[in-house]
């Protein structure tokens, strides 16, 4: 039993955590403990003591208890106007025209599973238990159900709130968060993923001082601020210390606030962003907030991440692809943009197949007059000039190559220059009295209209059911503008989720990859439908270390689209080694985003070997227990993933110092007493990159920049030294002293030529 209730105390326990609260004498819910798992027992040591109040306190009921002040209590929910001045989870205009509200305990019940939500996606509740605590406003028949679904094995508590208007008047909801929780201050740092286009998910760390840090978005989940947030306690590291994680199963406007109050309590509230939000709730109506998910670990940031990874894999991602390795895909976007024909696509697919790709994805540009990004969006008629045999013909030919076929859509937007817009200008989101603002030359379709939803569902399902499509990329390339209010945006999200449910619910075999100008919509709401999300339009692996590394705090590797592209990279002009591009993308839903013909013949050979290697480590990289390993050097990033008897380690140097010290490679999480074989994956050294060193140091004697060198560079390679050891888990855990890297004094065939942007990949196998 993961939920126990006795004497007004609610004890929620998971394998490694406990979440306890109780009702106070006045009926408020006092938060007692959320953290490490506690044995059942008394709560006296956990109860907030309040014999005296602060001088300026507003007392809740001075006669009944002169020391009871809501501002000073750790609470599970709070209201307005009764003496709690912290960030509130609720702002309601009640039938008397006032915002003062006071929710107190009414009743509770426990249900098996997770009660079904009616408008929004949620985690799958099989095997879980849900506690529903009902609160009632003291003045009006307005009820608030606080739901707690306990995922014992995953160490996650899913929380949400449902407001029921049983009064006789209309309520105006200005703010209704999914949860609120107050924790004792432990010197927290707030960690969020913030950024922008092509630099998504940068880890931002801000110490929480008195006052609030607000992580929010005003245009869906967006590049700027991901909905996830972590609280890292003083001194916690990747592997040790208390860390809390919070996320929302919602991709609309979101807000999570962390506030440290003057009395040393930290309040976290999260849910729909109250920005421009006004929702009328008529008598008899109900409003449900998005589901929020909370986890805590005493095993540091990795512990928190691993809890979320397991939870997302098991409880959020669904359909046939929940545990299936992602196919190695080749996407034609960076190879072609809008310029292609059926034959050129088939040539690209064939080249991809030769390298070992399993899925060919046709990106933007296959429909209507879509030869630039200014036209055609909204139309679903295939462009017969480009694809004379249609999608069906192309799909069949791709299948005949022994590959699956995937297709790009951008269903939520429309170009003015499209048949759809000409026929239905009223379907776009505009304000009648204002000139509309465009994003990437397009307007958004109004998904609150049933006719728009039907149009998208009918057109997409027709294509999906008549062509051999195994994968869909669902793109969304603009932020919102010209909207009515926040309630409209929430209704848009409800419409959007309905469309996804209707299209993909009956087609679980289709692998869906979400995308929004890169990783602009990386959230758990989307992951309930899309099993993976394109992490960023930035495919430079050095940037991806930050992006994928940031995402890994809250999302599993299997959900992050990651591709090998050409260097110098289209986004940064950085020139990175092919091996590094491979090694970083290996920790993702892997693919290629290039035309293999643009690679040197030797690179094609190398990539073919690497893709074949990848098939032997893919399950570990995508579904293994993932950790970020502390290297003590900000310019060395190390990731590892472990499953069964295999561990894969990636170590990347972003900037090397002169006279590099020998690397110390630690592999964490192994059984100290078992014996393992460590093998480094061979990484190629292309001779062209060494300039005049060829003359002085390397064994290959070729004149720099000569014709001979250029010819050799295309076809010949050396291999960097590859290490191998047999050692105990204890030895690997304490650190393998690797061979020296190049320091300018000579060459040995037992050293590494590890410059800036170089990566190493190790496969460790238990005996």
Q: Which residue's CB is nearer to ligand DGJ, number 370 or number 717? A: 370
Torsion of the alpha carbons at 278, 281, 282 and 287, rounded to the nearest 10:
150
Angle at 285 between CA 282 and CA 289, to 5 degrees: 115
CB contact burial 56-87 (16+ within 10 A = b; e otherwise): ebebbeeeeeeebbbbbbbbbbbbbebbbebb
Q: Which residue's CB is nearer to ligand DGJ, number 34 or number 366? A: 366
Q: Which residue's CB is nearer to ligand DGJ, number 391 or number 670? A: 391
Instruction: Determine whether 626 is exposed, middle or buried from the number of CB atoms within 10 Å of its CB (0-12, 13-18, 19+).
Output: buried
Taking the complex as a whole, how short is the minimal distance between the CB of residue 467 and ligand DGJ, in angstroms? 19
The structure tokens listed for 652 are: 């990347």
Sign of the torsion angle spanned by Cα atoms 101, 104, 109, 111: positive
Q: Which residue's CB is nearer to ligand DGJ, number 364 or number 523? A: 364
Taking CB atoms, the residue at the shortest distance from ligand DGJ is 364
Cα separation, 43 vs 118, in Å, equals 37
409 — phi, psi (to 5°)?
A: -135, 155
Round the CA-based radius of gyration of the chain to a whole number and report it. 28
Within 10 Å of residue 465's Cβ, how many Cβ atoms? 10
Size of the chain, expressed as the number of residues it contains: 767
Angle at 444 between CA 440 and CA 450, to 5 degrees: 160
Within 10 Å of residue 193's Cβ, how many Cβ atoms? 26
Q: Which residue's CB is nearer to ligand DGJ, number 333 or number 455? A: 333
Beta bridge partners of 442: 415, 439
Cα separation, 329 vs 69, in Å, equals 59
Taking the complex as a whole, how short is the minimal distance between the CB of residue 136 and ligand DGJ, in angstroms? 47
Q: Which residue's CB is nearer to ligand DGJ, number 103 or number 340? A: 340
Cα separation, 561 vs 533, in Å, equals 5
Q: Which residue's CB is nearer to ligand DGJ, number 365 or number 577? A: 365
CA nearest neighbour of 292 among 438, 118, 158, 425: 158
Q: Which residue's CB is nearer to ligand DGJ, number 53 or number 517? A: 517
Angle at 708 between CA 704 and CA 709, to 5 degrees: 40
CA nearest neighbour of 360 among 319, 397, 322: 397
Of 84, 145, 364, 537, catalytic? 537
The question of whether 13 is a catalytic residue gets the answer no
What is the 3-state secondary structure of 615-663? HHHHHHHHHCEEEEECCCCCCEEEEEEEECCEEEEEEEECCCCCCCCCC
Taking the complex as a whole, how short is the minimal distance between the CB of residue 571 and ligand DGJ, in angstroms? 11
Residues that bind ligand DGJ (CB under 6 A): 333, 363-364, 408, 475, 477, 515, 517-518, 534, 537
Q: Which residue's CB is nearer to ligand DGJ, number 333 or number 496? A: 333
Within 10 Å of residue 191's Cβ, how many Cβ atoms? 22
**DSSP string computed for 387-434:** -TTHHHHHHHHHHHTT-EEEEEE-TTEEESBSHHHHH-GGGB---TTS
The question of whether 419 is a catalytic residue gets the answer no
CA nearest neighbour of 297 among 3, 642, 18, 631: 18
Taking the complex as a whole, how short is the minimal distance between the CB of residue 716 and ligand DGJ, in angstroms? 34
Quick check: 652 and 663 in contact, CB under 8 A?
no
Cα separation, 215 vs 267, in Å, equals 14
The answer to whether the peptide bond before residue 216 is cis (omega within 30 degrees of 0) is no
**DSSP string computed for 522-583:** -SHHHHTT-SEEE--S---HHHHHHHHHHHTTTS-GGGEEEEEE-SS-TTT-----HHHHHH
Quick check: 106 and 184 in contact, CB under 8 A?
no
Q: Which residue's CB is nearer to ligand DGJ, number 490 or number 563? A: 563
Q: Which residue's CB is nearer to ligand DGJ, number 335 or number 732? A: 335
Taking the complex as a whole, how short is the minimal distance between the CB of residue 333 and ligand DGJ, in angstroms? 5
Cα separation, 413 vs 422, in Å, equals 14
Within 10 Å of residue 746's Cβ, how many Cβ atoms? 9
Of 137, 145, 363, 475, catalytic? 475
Q: Which residue's CB is nearer to ligand DGJ, number 269 or number 477? A: 477
Taking the complex as a whole, how short is the minimal distance between the CB of residue 524 and ligand DGJ, in angstroms? 20
Instruction: List active site positions.
Output: 475, 537
């Amino acid at each position: 039993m993961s939920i126990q209730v006795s004497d007004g105390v609610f004890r929620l326990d998971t394998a490694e955590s406990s979440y306890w609260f109780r009702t106070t004498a006045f009926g408020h819910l006092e938060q007692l403990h959320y953290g490490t798992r506690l044995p059942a027992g008394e709560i006296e040591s956990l109860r907030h003591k309040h014999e005296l109040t602060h001088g300026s306190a507003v007392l809740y009921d001075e006669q009944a208890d002169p020391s009871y002040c809501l501002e000073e209590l750790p609470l599970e929910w709070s209201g307005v106007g009764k003496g709690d001045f912290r960030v509130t989870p609720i702002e309601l205009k009640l039938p008397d025209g006032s915002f003062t509200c006071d929710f107190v305990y009414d009743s509770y019940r426990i249900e098996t599973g997770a009660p079904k939500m009616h408008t929004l996606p949620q985690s799958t509740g099989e095997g879980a238990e849900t506690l529903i605590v009902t609160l009632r406003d003291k003045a009006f028949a307005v009820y608030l159900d606080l739901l707690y679904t306990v995922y014992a094995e995953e160490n996650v508590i899913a929380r949400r709130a449902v407001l029921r208007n049983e009064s006789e008047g209309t309520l105006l909801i200005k703010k209704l968060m999914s949860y609120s929780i107050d924790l004792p201050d432990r010197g927290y740092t707030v960690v969020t993923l913030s950024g922008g286009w092509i630099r998504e998910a940068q880890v931002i760390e801000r110490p929480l001082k008195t006052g609030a840090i607000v992580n929010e978005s005003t245009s869906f989940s967006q590049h700027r601020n991901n909905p996830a947030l972590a609280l890292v306690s003083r001194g916690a590291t990747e592997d040790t210390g208390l860390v809390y994680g919070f996320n929302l199963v919602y991709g609309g406007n979101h807000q999570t606030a962390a506030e440290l109050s003057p009395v040393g309590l930290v309040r976290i509230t999260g849910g729909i962003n109250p920005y421009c939000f006004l929702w009328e709730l008529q008598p008899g109506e109900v409003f449900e907030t998005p589901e929020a998910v909370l986890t805590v670990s005493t095993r540091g940031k990795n512990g928190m991440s691993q809890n979320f990874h397991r939870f997302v894999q098991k409880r959020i991602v669904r359909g046939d692809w929940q545990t299936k390795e992602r196919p190695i895909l080749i996407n034609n976007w960076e190879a072609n943009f809008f310029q292609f024909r059926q034959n050129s696509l088939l040539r690209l697919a064939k080249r991809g197949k030769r390298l070992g790709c399993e899925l060919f994805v046709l990106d933007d540009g296959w429909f209507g007059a879509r030869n630039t990004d200014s036209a055609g969006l909204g139309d679903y008629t295939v462009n017969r000039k480009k694809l004379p045999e249609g999608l069906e013909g192309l799909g069949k030919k791709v299948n005949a190559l022994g590959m699956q076929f995937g297709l790009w859509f951008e269903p939520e937007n429309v170009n003015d220059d499209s048949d759809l817009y000409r026929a239905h200008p009223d379907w776009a989101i505009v304000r009648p009295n204002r000139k509309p603002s465009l994003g990437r030359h397009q307007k958004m379709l109004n998904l609150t209209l049933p006719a728009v939803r039907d149009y998208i569902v009918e057109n997409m399902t027709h294509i999906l059911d008549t062509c051999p499509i195994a994968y869909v990329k669902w793109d969304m390339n603009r932020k919102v503008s010209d909207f009515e209010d926040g309630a409209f945006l929430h209704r848009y999200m409800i419409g959007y989720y309905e469309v996804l449910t209707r299209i993909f619910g009956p087609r679980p075999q289709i692998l869906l990859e979400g995308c929004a100008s890169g990783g602009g919509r990386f959230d758990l709401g989307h992951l309930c439908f899309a099993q993976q999300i394109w992490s960023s339009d930035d495919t430079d692996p050095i940037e991806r270390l930050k992006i994928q590394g940031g995402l890994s705090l809250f999302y599993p590797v299997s959900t992050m689209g990651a591709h090998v592209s050409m260097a110098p990279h289209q986004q940064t002009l950085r020139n990175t080694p092919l091996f590094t591009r491979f090694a970083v993308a290996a920790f993702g839903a892997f693919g290629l985003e290039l035309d293999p013909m643009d690679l040197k013949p030797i690179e094609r050979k190398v990539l073919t070997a690497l893709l074949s290697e990848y098939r032997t480590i893919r399950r570990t990289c995508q579904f293994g227990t993932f950790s970020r390993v502390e290297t003590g050097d900000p310019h060395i990033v190390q990731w590892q993933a472990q499953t069964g008897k295999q561990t894969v380690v990636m170590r990347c140097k972003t900037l090397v110092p002169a006279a590099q010290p020998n690397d110390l490679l630690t592999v964490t999480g192994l059984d100290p007493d078992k014996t393992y074989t460590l093998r480094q994956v061979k990484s190629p050294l292309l001779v062209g990159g060494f300039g005049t060193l060829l003359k002085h140091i390397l064994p290959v004697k070729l004149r720099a920049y000569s014709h001979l060198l250029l010819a050799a560079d295309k076809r010949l390679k050396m291999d960097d030294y590859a290490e191998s050891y047999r050692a105990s888990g204890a030895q690997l855990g304490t650190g393998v002293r690797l061979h020296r890297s190049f320091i300018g004094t000579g060459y040995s065939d037992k050293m590494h030529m590890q410059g800036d942007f170089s990566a190493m990949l190790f496969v460790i196998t238990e005996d």
